[in-house]
Protein backbone atom coordinates (compact mmCIF):
# COMPACT_ATOMS: atom_id res chain seq x y z
CA UNK A 1 0.00 0.00 0.00
CA UNK A 2 1.51 3.36 -0.98
CA UNK A 3 2.33 5.81 1.78
CA UNK A 4 0.41 9.09 1.84
CA UNK A 5 3.35 11.41 2.44
CA UNK A 6 1.28 14.43 3.54
CA UNK A 7 -0.67 12.44 6.13
CA UNK A 8 2.39 10.57 7.33
CA UNK A 9 4.32 13.84 7.66
CA UNK A 10 1.64 15.28 9.95
CA UNK A 11 1.93 12.19 12.16
CA UNK A 12 5.52 13.25 12.98
CA UNK A 13 3.92 15.76 15.37
CA UNK A 14 1.51 13.30 17.01
CA UNK A 15 1.41 13.44 20.81
CA UNK A 16 1.71 9.65 20.84
CA UNK A 17 5.42 9.05 20.31
CA UNK A 18 4.81 5.52 19.03
CA UNK A 19 2.65 6.84 16.20
CA UNK A 20 5.15 9.60 15.44
CA UNK A 21 8.05 7.13 15.46
CA UNK A 22 6.25 4.83 13.00
CA UNK A 23 5.66 7.84 10.75
CA UNK A 24 9.37 8.69 10.97
CA UNK A 25 10.31 5.14 9.99
CA UNK A 26 7.94 5.22 7.00
CA UNK A 27 9.30 8.56 5.81
CA UNK A 28 12.89 7.36 6.26
CA UNK A 29 12.13 4.30 4.13
CA UNK A 30 10.54 6.45 1.43
CA UNK A 31 13.47 8.90 1.53
CA UNK A 32 15.91 6.07 0.82
CA UNK A 33 14.05 5.27 -2.41
CA UNK A 34 12.55 8.52 -3.71
CA UNK A 35 12.55 12.28 -3.26
CA UNK A 36 8.88 12.39 -2.18
CA UNK A 37 9.71 13.81 1.27
CA UNK A 38 12.00 16.49 -0.18
CA UNK A 39 9.01 18.81 -0.69
CA UNK A 40 8.90 19.13 3.12
CA UNK A 41 12.48 20.31 3.59
CA UNK A 42 11.46 23.76 4.84
CA UNK A 43 9.15 22.23 7.44
CA UNK A 44 11.87 19.78 8.44
CA UNK A 45 14.19 22.73 8.96
CA UNK A 46 11.57 24.40 11.15
CA UNK A 47 11.42 21.27 13.31
CA UNK A 48 14.99 21.93 14.47
CA UNK A 49 13.70 24.80 16.64
CA UNK A 50 10.91 22.79 18.27
CA UNK A 51 10.80 22.69 22.07
CA UNK A 52 10.15 18.94 21.92
CA UNK A 53 13.42 17.03 21.53
CA UNK A 54 11.65 14.14 19.81
CA UNK A 55 10.40 16.48 17.09
CA UNK A 56 13.87 18.04 16.75
CA UNK A 57 15.35 14.57 16.35
CA UNK A 58 12.79 13.59 13.71
CA UNK A 59 13.68 16.74 11.76
CA UNK A 60 17.40 15.98 12.01
CA UNK A 61 16.87 12.41 10.80
CA UNK A 62 14.72 13.29 7.80
CA UNK A 63 16.94 16.18 6.75
CA UNK A 64 19.91 13.82 6.68
CA UNK A 65 17.96 11.17 4.78
CA UNK A 66 16.97 13.76 2.19
CA UNK A 67 20.43 15.26 1.69
CA UNK A 68 20.82 13.05 -1.39
CA UNK A 69 17.84 14.78 -3.03
CA UNK A 70 18.87 18.34 -2.09
CA UNK A 71 19.02 19.96 -5.53
CA UNK A 72 18.00 23.37 -4.11
CA UNK A 73 20.74 23.40 -1.45
CA UNK A 74 18.23 23.67 1.37
CA UNK A 75 20.57 21.89 3.76
CA UNK A 76 23.37 24.30 2.89
CA UNK A 77 21.07 27.14 3.99
CA UNK A 78 20.35 25.61 7.40
CA UNK A 79 23.58 23.71 8.08
CA UNK A 80 24.61 26.08 10.88
CA UNK A 81 21.28 25.50 12.62
CA UNK A 82 21.63 21.74 12.07
CA UNK A 83 25.16 21.67 13.48
CA UNK A 84 24.04 23.44 16.68
CA UNK A 85 22.39 20.16 17.62
CA UNK A 86 25.79 18.51 18.00
CA UNK A 87 25.46 20.05 21.46
CA UNK A 88 21.68 19.86 21.83
CA UNK A 89 20.47 20.29 25.41
CA UNK A 90 19.26 16.69 25.21
CA UNK A 91 22.30 14.41 24.83
CA UNK A 92 20.23 11.76 23.04
CA UNK A 93 19.27 14.30 20.37
CA UNK A 94 22.91 15.41 20.14
CA UNK A 95 24.05 11.82 19.66
CA UNK A 96 21.47 11.26 16.92
CA UNK A 97 22.59 14.46 15.18
CA UNK A 98 26.25 13.43 15.33
CA UNK A 99 25.55 9.93 13.99
CA UNK A 100 23.64 11.38 11.01
CA UNK A 101 26.44 13.72 9.92
CA UNK A 102 28.33 11.21 7.75
CA UNK A 103 25.18 10.83 5.66
CA UNK A 104 25.08 14.58 5.01
CA UNK A 105 28.85 14.70 4.44
CA UNK A 106 28.56 11.90 1.89
CA UNK A 107 25.75 13.54 -0.06
CA UNK A 108 26.83 17.17 0.39
CA UNK A 109 30.61 17.06 0.07
CA UNK A 110 30.81 20.87 0.03
CA UNK A 111 29.68 20.84 3.69
CA UNK A 112 32.31 18.39 4.97
CA UNK A 113 34.67 21.09 6.25
CA UNK A 114 31.85 22.87 8.10
CA UNK A 115 30.71 19.59 9.62
CA UNK A 116 34.20 18.53 10.73
CA UNK A 117 34.94 21.97 12.11
CA UNK A 118 31.72 21.99 14.16
CA UNK A 119 32.48 18.50 15.51
CA UNK A 120 36.02 19.48 16.48
CA UNK A 121 34.86 22.68 18.22
CA UNK A 122 31.91 21.11 20.04
CA UNK A 123 32.03 21.81 23.78
CA UNK A 124 30.37 18.86 25.46
CA UNK A 125 31.53 19.74 28.98
CA UNK A 126 28.00 20.72 30.08
CA UNK A 127 26.71 17.16 29.72
CA UNK A 128 26.59 14.93 32.79
CA UNK A 129 29.77 12.98 33.44
CA UNK A 130 28.04 9.78 32.37
CA UNK A 131 27.16 11.21 28.92
CA UNK A 132 30.36 13.09 28.05
CA UNK A 133 32.43 10.03 27.08
CA UNK A 134 29.60 8.68 24.92
CA UNK A 135 29.20 11.93 23.01
CA UNK A 136 32.98 12.28 22.72
CA UNK A 137 33.27 8.76 21.25
CA UNK A 138 30.45 9.50 18.81
CA UNK A 139 32.26 12.62 17.63
CA UNK A 140 35.57 10.80 17.18
CA UNK A 141 33.93 7.92 15.30
CA UNK A 142 32.06 10.26 12.96
CA UNK A 143 35.15 12.36 12.25
CA UNK A 144 36.98 9.19 11.20
CA UNK A 145 34.04 8.14 9.02
CA UNK A 146 33.88 11.52 7.29
CA UNK A 147 37.63 11.56 6.65
CA UNK A 148 37.29 8.22 4.85
CA UNK A 149 34.71 9.65 2.41
pLDDT higher than threshold 80 for residue 16: yes
Residue 69 burial (CB count, 10 A) = 18
The share of the chain scoring above pLDDT 90, in percent, equals: 98
> Nearest CA to 64 among 49, 88, 40, 82?
82
Q: What is the pLDDT of residues 36-74, one digit of tens each?
A: 999 999 999 999 999 999 999 999 999 999 999 999 999
Q: Which residues of 11-48 are buried (b: 16+ CB within 10 A; e: fewer)?
A: bbbeeeeeebbebbebbbebbeeeebbbebbeebbebb
pLDDT higher than threshold 90 for residue 1: no
Amino acid sequence: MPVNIAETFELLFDKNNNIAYKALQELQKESEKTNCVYAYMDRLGDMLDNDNSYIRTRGLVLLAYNARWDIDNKIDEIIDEYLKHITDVKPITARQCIKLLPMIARDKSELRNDICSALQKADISFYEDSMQPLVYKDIQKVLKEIHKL
